[in-house]
Amino acid sequence: MKFNRFLTIALMTGMTLGTVTSQGFAAYAETGSETSSEAGSQTGSEAGSAAISEGNTSSEKNEVTYTNGASEGTYTLKINNTGKTTHTFEIYQIFKGTLSDDKKVLSDIKWGDGISIDDLPSALKDVVWGNGVILSDDDIKEDAAKVANGLTNENAESFAKGISKALSVKTAEAKIIANNNATLKLPTGYYFVRDSEGSQNTSEGSYTQYLLQITADTETTTKLDAPTSLKKVKEDDHEVTGTTDSRLSSFEVGDHFNDVADYSIGEKIPYELVGTLPSNYAKYTTYQYSFVDTMSSGLDVDKESVKVYFRPSVDSNQSSEIEVTSKASVDVSEDLHSLNVSFSDLKAAVPEATEKFIFIVRYEATLNENAVVGLPGNTNEFHLEYSNNPNGDGKGTTPEDKNIVFTYELDNEKITYISEAEYNAITDDDKDKKYTKLQYDLNGDGTAETVYKRTLTGAKFKLFTTSNNEDTGAKGAVIENGVFMGWDDVSKATEVASDENGLIKIKGLDSGVYYLEETEAPSGYNKLTNRVKLEIKAETVNNQSWESMDPEDALKKTETDKDGNVIKTALTVTLDDKTTVNSDSNLGIVKTEIVNFAGSTLPSTGGIGTTIMYAVGGLLVILGGAAIIIKRRSDAE
């Protein structure tokens, strides 16, 4: 089958008239007059179901109807919908006539059944007729052949726009789902095809209208176009693989930008929004274009950081960017959770723009104290809103794109251990302090021994970036109500104390290395002599293909053994480069035990106290892990 890149209309009134093309309409159709025998054998009613592509699992079906008593015609029209949405095409006969025996000439031209003749003079008043034709209002109404003789390439667009205002009775209507086709039968003539009003005000919607001749079995492929959009977030620590996204493969994203990141509360997070223009952009007289970004409550947009740029083509690099922030309207909601960067008319704001241009919005958002720890993460969703009908009103949207940012929590439990002999020696009043009986294999000989654990209140700690204050880049953590708020000079580090349950919680940490210093031990207990190194490690999926947009798919899967026991989670914490423990099931909290021993009542050599103190002086033990030589075997009441 041979296809042409644009339609042609050859109206015959005893002579061959000028060629009229669909260039300048909302879209073009590829046509061919030699359709397959399968298409030619279908009736209009059969086309509604028989034309559905193989493999379609949608409950939605194609539908072809003939309206207002219009009868099925002589020739088949097969319409291919290459768009990403369902289209309902309305088909109006605008000219009819008598086809010559050789099927090359249409004579005795009259207005078609789809035209409201009384509306023609006002509808076509702006058309400048060609070929020396002069038409009065009566001529337009009464002499369709003379109107046809005045059509040229130059006035095709204005004729199409005008004739759309004088339509009356539809010949047929074809509802065709995305990437599908339908076949119907039509009488000889020339037809105006358009999307029904309001049908494309949807995600990836795009309106079309064009002129089409039916003088033989015909197949058309309606080319539908809509912008493409992307959203990326910058990851500041992890390695990022890939520099392009399959949805816009010729565009190279910014360095370390991808779909997933993790940050500390208080940090500024760079984002990048990308939007293209439709291939028929030149056909619009005005063009509304907006970047719409909605944050979760854990993210605050920084309005002052918003910058807007364009590149002359998708494949051009960042060095070619030109800033146009001053030409856009930048709106941030009062709660700082939504951003709208809009051009009410991009044609006027950036007159040099062509369909090859790509627009980029860059900004920063701060992760705030309302951030979610672990899953489901802190997301934001972005789409473009754009004009999608160059022949009238219409707005479309691109599909929602999503990024996700994780943050984590460190839970430290302040505890002490005593041996069974020590437990038996204490008073009943002391035993009421909620000791927990545990079984450990102290000597590694396979025999569990009994120890008792109790939580301690009143211990005080500070968190730092380095092992001592003289190191380069040494900073202290500012913590408010258990929430990490950022780094400051080491002298301004916040001191936090264990609560009545022995807990010290620090919410809002990035993956990375931290140093915990005990500044004051509970009364009667030994203080840790050195800062303890804690490495929080999160295995996020940092590439350009987070297609599912499922938060769980943004983290590497939990590893289990053949019995289903957890081996490794995507979030872990490691103590002093030795002992590693998994996070909670929500992949957001890592828990540690901070152990102190009574300074004045250390047990004798061989007891648990001296064993641990000999090994590490003062020890931080990881829940679920091993404490150098102490291996947890089982818990008991």
Domain shared by 217 and 283, yes or no: no
CA–CA distance, 528 with 619 (Å, rounded to integer): 7
Domain shared by 59 and 189, yes or no: yes
List strand residue ranges (DSSP E) for 227-267, in order. Answer: 229-234, 244-245, 248-252, 257-258, 260-262
Domain shared by 441 and 590, yes or no: yes
Residue 181 has pLDDT above 70, yes or no: yes
First to last CA, the chain: 82
Alpha helices in 279-372 (DSSP H): 346-349
Mean pLDDT in residue range 143-161 = 91
Residue 255, classified by CB atoms within 10 Å of its CB into exposed (0-12), middle (13-18) or buried (19+), is: exposed
Please, which contacts does 379-382 make with residues 24 or more away whose CB atoms are closer than 8 Å?
Answer: 379/296, 379/403, 379/404, 379/405, 379/551, 380/231, 380/271, 380/293, 380/294, 380/295, 380/296, 380/299, 381/293, 381/294, 382/229, 382/231, 382/273, 382/291, 382/292, 382/293, 382/294
Tokens matching residue 430: 């002391």
What is the tens place of the pLDDT at every residue in 452-474?
888 999 999 999 999 999 899 99
Residue 222 has pLDDT above 80, yes or no: no
Last residue of a domain, one of 201, 222, 243: 222
Contact 320, 255 (CB under 8 A): no
- 376 preceded by cis ω (within 30°)? yes
Domain shared by 202 and 106, yes or no: yes
Tokens matching residue 394: 């219409």
Q: What is the pLDDT of residue 428?
A: 78
What is the tens place of the pLDDT at every residue in 389-415?
887 888 999 999 999 999 999 999 998
At 41, give phi and psi (nearest 5°): -90, -10
What is the tens place of the pLDDT at every residue in 276-317?
999 889 989 999 999 999 999 999 999 999 999 999 998 888
Domain shared by 434 and 365, yes or no: no
Q: Is residue 180 part of a domain?
A: yes
Q: What is the pLDDT of residue 58?
A: 55
What is the tens place of the pLDDT at every residue in 334-365?
999 999 999 999 999 999 999 999 999 999 99
Domain shared by 418 and 547, yes or no: yes
Q: Helix, strand, or coil here: 154?
A: coil
Higher pLDDT, 516 or 545: 516
Torsion sign, CA atoms 508, 514, 519, 521: positive
Q: Is residue 2 part of a domain?
A: no
Domain shared by 194 and 274, yes or no: no
Q: Is residue 14 part of a domain?
A: no
Q: What is the CATH number of the domain that holds 282?
A: 2.60.40.740
Q: Is residue 431 part of a domain?
A: yes
Residue 34: CB atoms within 10 Å: 11
Q: Is residue 190 part of a domain?
A: yes
What is the tens place of the pLDDT at every residue in 9-29?
333 332 222 223 222 233 334
Q: Is residue 125 part of a domain?
A: yes
Last residue of a domain, one of 350, 384, 406: 406
At 530, give phi and psi (nearest 5°): -130, 155
Range of the domain at 516: 409-635
Domain shared by 189 and 163, yes or no: yes
Domain shared by 451 and 467, yes or no: yes
Domain shared by 394 and 422, yes or no: no
Domain shared by 555 and 435, yes or no: yes
What is the tens place of the pLDDT at every residue in 508-542?
999 999 999 999 999 888 898 899 999 999 999 99
Q: What is the pLDDT of residue 70?
A: 63
Higher pLDDT, 566 or 104: 566
What is the tens place of the pLDDT at every residue in 618-633?
344 433 333 332 333 3
Domain count, the chain: 3
Domain shared by 101 and 121, yes or no: yes
Distance of CA 1 to the CA centre of its chain: 39
* Closest by CA position to 600, among listed 442, 422, 434, 412: 422
With bands split at pLDDT 50, 70 and 90, how would you rate the model's confidence at 380? very high
Q: Is residue 65 part of a domain?
A: yes
List strand residue ranges (DSSP E) for 319-407, in order. Answer: 322-323, 329-332, 338-343, 358-367, 378-387, 395-397, 401-406
* Closest by CA position to 299, among listed 261, 326, 327: 261
What is the tens place of the pLDDT at every residue in 190-203?
999 999 888 887 78
- Per the prediction, the chain carries an average pLDDT of 82
Q: What is the pLDDT of residue 586?
A: 87
Last residue of a domain, one of 389, 406, 423: 406
Q: What is the pLDDT of residue 351?
A: 97
Q: What is the CATH number of the domain that holds 564?
A: 2.60.40.10
With bands split at pLDDT 50, 70 and 90, how would you rate the model's confidence at 275? very high
Q: Is residue 184 part of a domain?
A: yes
Which positions ≥6 away from 216 have C-beta within 8 Å? 33, 34, 75, 103
